Structure 1
Amino acid sequence: MALFENLLYALDGTSGILTITLNRPTKLNALNAATIEDIRHAMQEALDDAQVRGIILTGSGEKAFVAGADIAELAGLNEITGRRAAERGQEAFCLIEESPKPVIAAVNGFALGGGCELAMACHMRVASENARFGQPEVNLGLIPGYGGTQRLTQLIDKGKALELMLTGDQIKADEALRLGLVNHVVPAAELLPFCQQLLGRILTKAPLAVGLVIDCVNAAFDQERHGFQAEANAFSRCCGSEDFREGTTAFLEKRPAVFKGN
């Protein structure tokens, strides 16, 4: 396993749940280039490790999931380096979004700017009651650069997404839940146990089917793919799988299915 400078990587070998914790507490876990690279490498390692079945992504401490980007580093960007920074962030976050292994963001505290973008790249979001969300980049003369303009508009109403990005306003967890930005809001002490329980329920299902559901949902927002065709192809693939035969047989025999992911 690789060592990471700015995150903690902890795999529960029994459940197969990997917890990735952004770990820059003195900076409220703000994203700099090194942290983006750590996220990218950690996700690639997780995708390559057969022991990892699902992932929880969270931040260290009680104040912040990720409070935003590292402003001191951002201030040094120009047009050329800015484009590359955005592209690297997008690449890292797309690894999360396109992961066939389910990824849940456990949002503890502030999820602003790049932190909100990171949470939105995950397949689901669970927020603690003290969580705050926002895309305040316009206050810096910037726009979201790690996919925020695209994912926020997919997750909530277009007009509200524009309002949040154009004003830079923050919203509380209950408002994020009302808008559909998060799936659940729970007390801070229950955040990780709730995410572990939710992910554990998903991990009882057929791994191939879970991954293909994620892929088909992503296809709905990909202009280069035909979502219905992707669904038909995935359905066909499932029908030829051992998991399909096991799932249907177990149902008819009135017993729990034992899925192997193939």
Structure 2
Amino acid sequence: MTLLDKDGVHVTADGEVATVTLTNAAKRNAQTPAMWRALAEAGRVLPGAIRVVVLRGEGTSFSAGLDRRAFEPEGIEGELSFLELARGSDEDLDAAIAEFQQAFTWWRRPDLVSIAAVQGHAIGAGFQLALACDLRVCADDARFAMRETSLGLVPDLAGTHPLVGLVGPARALEICATGRSVHADEAERIGLANLVVTPDQLDGAVADLTAALLAAPRNAVVETKALLAGATARSYDEQRAAERAAQTRRLRDLAGLGD
């Protein structure tokens, strides 16, 4: 069932699985503000039954980053150029960036698990979109790079928090400040990629992971995801208390004593 098809974003649902596909393959799925609005809308149109969301890109690249026309004086047709945005007030610029970030923030919702299927380029905004997901399955030709710093910018699409969480602040700084490429084998070694396979195995690997995630009861996965997501912000004793509270809910639910 098709839920959305606009501005380079195609969303379908099949039972408990939704697939979000970037469809601008001719431009290596370069991102635009219109695509970001469509990605944000994708999160809003998902049926409540969805448990797993798969994010993929058509063609040979996941996403080669931002459409560079956004930095040109004339900008992208129908959009303010970033140069024009920069001339606005601090409040207006903050609001514009906050709107852009909405495309990247819903993927870690507690009620679902998101998987980025990454092949080819995942550059800049493409890297941050892959980081927005809970899990990343990569083809062995995947190449990540955070090029914002080399353009005089910073990564601002909600990617810095998950990157530091995955690889630590020192390695995250080195990756971002140099803008170098992180190839698939290194990505797996440092924790950016959960699994690396050949390009022809990518769809099958994602399908296998999706099936494994769906095999466990939904509420158990939701509770476990919440426990892990909050673990670094809690002390050891606070985490133990959170585990006890979660397990109490699960046991009562299994015994038919839940709310």
Instruction: Using the TM superposition, give the Cα deviation of residue 43 of structure 1 relative to its aligned residue in structure 2, in angstroms.
Output: 1.5
Q: Which runs of 5+ in 1 are unaligned?
A: 247-261
Alignment map for 1:146-225 (pairs within 5 Å):
146-221=157-232
CA distance in 2: counterparts of 1:93 and 1:209, whole angstroms: 25
Aligned to 2:29: 29
Q: Deviations over 1:161-206 (max 9, x none)?
A: 1101111111110011111111010011111111011111110101
TM-score by length of structure 2 reads 0.84
Change (3 A) 1:228 1:4: farther
The answer to whether residue 20 in structure 2 is matched with residue 8 in structure 1 is: no
Instruction: Using the TM superposition, give the Cα deviation of residue 217 of structure 1 relative to its aligned residue in structure 2, in angstroms.
Output: 2.0
Aligned to 1:255: none
The letter for the 1-side match of 2:50 is: V
CA distance in 2: counterparts of 1:145 and 1:89, whole angstroms: 9
Three-state SS of the structure 2 residue aligned to 1:66 is coil
Aligned to 2:38: 38
Instruction: Using the TM superposition, give the Cα deviation of residue 82 of structure 1 relative to its aligned residue in structure 2, in angstroms.
Output: 4.2
Alignment map for 1:1-262 (pairs within 5 Å):
1-13=3-15, 16-46=16-46, 49-62=47-60, 64-74=61-71, 75-76=82-83, 77-78=85-86, 80=91, 82-221=93-232, 227-241=239-253, 244-245=254-255
Q: What fraction of aligned residue pairs are identical, expressed as a percent?
A: 31
Instruction: Using the TM superposition, give the Cα deviation of residue 31 of structure 1 relative to its aligned residue in structure 2, in angstroms.
Output: 1.7
Change (3 A) 1:141 1:182: same
Q: Which runs of 5+ in 2 are unaligned?
A: 72-81
CA distance in 1: counterparts of 2:96 and 2:221, whole angstroms: 31
Instruction: Using the TM superposition, give the Cα deviation of residue 114 of structure 1 relative to its aligned residue in structure 2, in angstroms.
Output: 1.2
Three-state SS of the structure 2 residue aligned to 1:117 is helix
Q: Deviations over 1:27-81 (max 9, x none)?
A: 21122111111111112222xx13423111011111x111112222244331555
Q: CA RMSD in A?
A: 2.1
CA distance in 1: counterparts of 2:63 and 2:34, whole angstroms: 14
Instruction: Judge conservation of contact 2:51–2:111 (CA < 8 Å) in 1.
Output: no
Change (3 A) 1:86 1:235: farther
Aligned to 2:76: none
CA distance in 2: counterparts of 1:70 and 1:139, whole angstroms: 16
Instruction: Judge conservation of contact 2:145–2:182 (CA < 8 Å) in 1.
Output: yes
TM-score by length of structure 1 reads 0.83
Q: Deviations over 1:80-104 (max 9, x none)?
A: 5543343223333221112421111
CA distance in 1: counterparts of 2:123 and 2:25, whole angstroms: 15
Q: Deviations over 1:107-141 (max 9, x none)?
A: 01111111111111111101001100011101111
Instruction: Using the TM superposition, give the Cα deviation of residue 221 of structure 1 relative to its aligned residue in structure 2, in angstroms.
Output: 4.7
Change (3 A) 1:135 1:221: farther
CA distance in 1: counterparts of 2:64 and 2:154, whole angstroms: 16
Three-state SS of the structure 2 residue aligned to 1:203 is helix
Three-state SS of the structure 1 residue aligned to 2:48 is coil
Instruction: Using the TM superposition, give the Cα deviation of residue 228 of structure 1 relative to its aligned residue in structure 2, in angstroms.
Output: 4.9
Instruction: Judge conservation of contact 2:150–2:177 (CA < 8 Å) in 1.
Output: no
